[in-house]
Amino acid sequence: MQVGLLSSVDLNQADVYIPRIPLIVVPLENFCRMKVGTAMKLHSLSASDRTAACDLCQATSFRLVGTKDRRGDELETVICETCGLVSHQRIPTDSELNEYYAAEYRQDYHGEYMPSPHRVVRAWEGANWLYDHLAHYLPPASKVFEIGAGIGCTVKRFELGGFQSEGIEPGVGFSEFARNQLYAQVRPDWLFDLNLNSPQDLILLVHVIEHFQSPRHALETIHQFLKPDGLLYVECPNVAGPHAAPGKQFHFAHIYNFAPHTLEMLAQSCGYTIEQRIPVDGELTLRYLFRRSDTSNLQLQPQFAQTTLDGMFRYNTLSYHLRPAYWGKRMLRDIRFARQRLTARTQLQQILQQCRQAKSTLRHAA
């Protein structure tokens, strides 16, 4: 099926936006069930009957931490009693994931097959942030590769900065936009089908590691694609931080949910060292820069699972929404998003024009 490349960026169509006002909505059932500050102990949770080993530590003992996803649909989520890694009770197969991400994920998760103007503008701002924080680690003309490149803004931003930049994105609509509108080197491919011609200086996983059937297999595969001292940037939600209200933490597409110690342990056990943890947005998001290493180690501590639980359940519905940080960040975010939507079409045209000019300059230089 052919989809018009500009179907979602029609400049003649009005883009009406009504900003959301933060409201405290406290379901009576949740309020009655949990008291503010109530501790949850690992041994008090129901045991899981899952037999598949933990992807991080290979243990086979789990406890149930959730039965619903953020939309209220059935989704059983468990925590490993040994290391604290949070994941689905039933891990989807690779074939199930490939089909989902190629055709359904962007529509299901974002409500879009092709990216809307404000989504492109938001992604471009994120690409600028990544470039500003990571480019100085790289020598000129370094090779940069993004796995799960989405719209392609980050790939294009590093290319505009003088780097050899490419990426893959399984979502057909988003990868089409990246190639045909941004002229970014993004193709609809899968990590485990890659055959890169030369080792990379930097590989990016921006909100991607939580989607893999096996994050361990993904990091071990990426290890082979990096130069001996190459860098890996990983960004994902922090399940031990207040990134979502209670009952809204889990999603079908997020097969794994990482806390700082589980992400660090996974990377170190796959042959990486921590170059830097980038602190932004408090505890909401994990942002790590790892460096490829020839050694690997896994050091487990008995308190890791309880540490994850303490972070996940430190708030209930009421106390989560009463936090001053919630109100302040929510209002600032809504104001920013409202401004983006009002100016998105103009900004999009500026971004597309910059990409066209870069393509024209490159063609003339050749």
Residue 37 lies in a domain: no
Residue 28 lies in a domain: no
User: Which of 35, 85, 36 lies closest to 57 in space, CA to CA?
Assistant: 85
Which residues constitute the domain of residue 324? 92-365
Rounded to two decimals, the pTM is 0.85
Residue 81 lies in a domain: no
For residue 296 the two structure tokens come to: 């690997």
Alpha helices per DSSP H over 226-316: 260-269, 304-312
The pLDDT profile of the chain, 366 residues, written as one tens digit per residue, is 333 333 333 333 333 333 443 443 444 444 334 444 456 899 899 999 999 999 999 999 999 999 999 889 999 999 999 999 999 999 998 888 878 887 777 777 667 778 889 899 999 999 999 999 999 999 999 999 999 999 999 999 999 999 999 999 988 889 999 999 999 999 999 999 998 889 999 999 999 999 999 999 999 999 999 999 999 999 999 999 877 888 888 988 899 999 999 999 999 999 999 999 998 766 789 999 999 999 999 989 889 999 999 999 888 888 888 888 777 777 877 787 777 778 889 999 999 999 999 987 766 555
User: Which of 61, 62, 85, 89 lies closest to 75 in space, CA to CA?
Assistant: 89
State the Cα–Cα distance between residues 318 and 105, nearest whole angstrom. Answer: 31
Residue 86 lies in a domain: no
Q: Count Cβ neighbours within 10 Å for each residue of 14-24 and write b for 16 or more, e otherwise.
A: eeeeeeeeeee
User: Which of 177, 171, 169, 179 lies closest to 147 in space, CA to CA?
Assistant: 169
Q: Which residue do the tokens 């921590």 mark?
A: 274
**Residue 150 falls in which region: left (phi positive, over 0), alpha (psi -120 to 50) or beta:** left
Where does residue 337 rank: exposed (0-12), middle (13-18), buried (19+ CB within 10 A)?
middle
Residue 329 lies in a domain: yes
- Domains identified in the chain, total number: 1
Residue 44 lies in a domain: no
CATH assignment of the domain containing 124:
3.40.50.150
Residue 298 lies in a domain: yes
Three-state DSSP state, 302: coil
Three-state DSSP state, 201: strand
Provide the CB-side half-sphere exposure for 365 (13 A, CA): 6
Residue 100 lies in a domain: yes
